[in-house]
Homo-oligomer: A and B are copies of this chain.
Amino acid sequence: MADPKKHASLFLHEDSLHEAVELLFFAYRDFTGVADALLAEHGFGRAHHRVLHFVAQSPGLSVSELLATLRITKQSLSRVLKQLVEQGYVTSKASGQDARRRELTLTDKGQDLQNRLAKAQQDLILSAYEQAEASSVDGFRKVMLGLIQEPLDRARFAAPAPQPRALRSKGSASVANRPLDRRR
C-alpha cells in the first residue's frame, strides 16, 4: 500500500490472492500427507512429528522453548512428549546450568525416524523445485517469509540476499544449528 507503483502491479494479480489461499490449502495438505503414513507405522501423529522436527533442529532445547515454538499448551505437549520419551525417541535430561530446565535431544532411534520423515517431505519439496524454474525458489522463499507474522519466528530464517560476509561461517551453518531465541 505504501508504494502506489508496487500496488498497481499487484492489482493485476488480485485473483491470485484468492488462488494463493487455495494453493496454501492444497500444498499444505499434501506436504503433511507424505509423512503421515510413516508416522502411522509408529503409532504417531503430526504432533509427534513437530516435536521430532524441532528437537532435531535445536538439540538441547527446553520444554518451554518448544512450547513457544509450537504454540500449544504444556498439557498438550506433555502427552506426546511423554510417549516419545517413554518409547525411546527423545531424551530429557536436566540442564547443568539450571537443573529445572530439561534439555531435549533425539536418541539415535529418534534421529532415524526424524531423518526418514524429513526425507519424505524434502523429496516432495525437491520435486516441486525441479518442476519450477530455479528462480522460483527464491520467490517462494520470500513470499513464505512474508506470511510469517511472528517476528521471532521470522528471525529464524537468515536474510537471503544481503548476506554480510562476516556472518557466514565456514561450514554450512544454516539456521538448523542456531539455538532458538531464548528471550521471554
Is A162 an interface residue, CB under 8 A from the partner?
no
State how many residues of chain A have any CB contact under 8 Å with chain B: 69
Given A1-B130, A19-B157, A138-B136, CB of A144 within 8 Å of CB of B24: yes
Q: How far is the CA of A29 from the CA of B134 in the complex (A)?
A: 26
Is A116 an interface residue, CB under 8 A from the partner?
no
Given A24-B144, A145-B23, CB of A134 within 8 Å of CB of B31: no
How many copies of this chain sit in the oligomeric assembly? Answer: 2
Is A170 an interface residue, CB under 8 A from the partner?
no
Which A residues are within 8 Å of any B CB, using their own CB? 1-3, 6-7, 9-10, 13, 15-31, 33-34, 50, 53, 57, 71, 118, 121-122, 124-150, 153-154, 156-157, 172, 174-176
* New contact pairs (4) apart from A17-B129, A131-B142, A132-B146, CB-CB < 8 Å: A9-B134, A10-B129, A26-B154, A136-B139
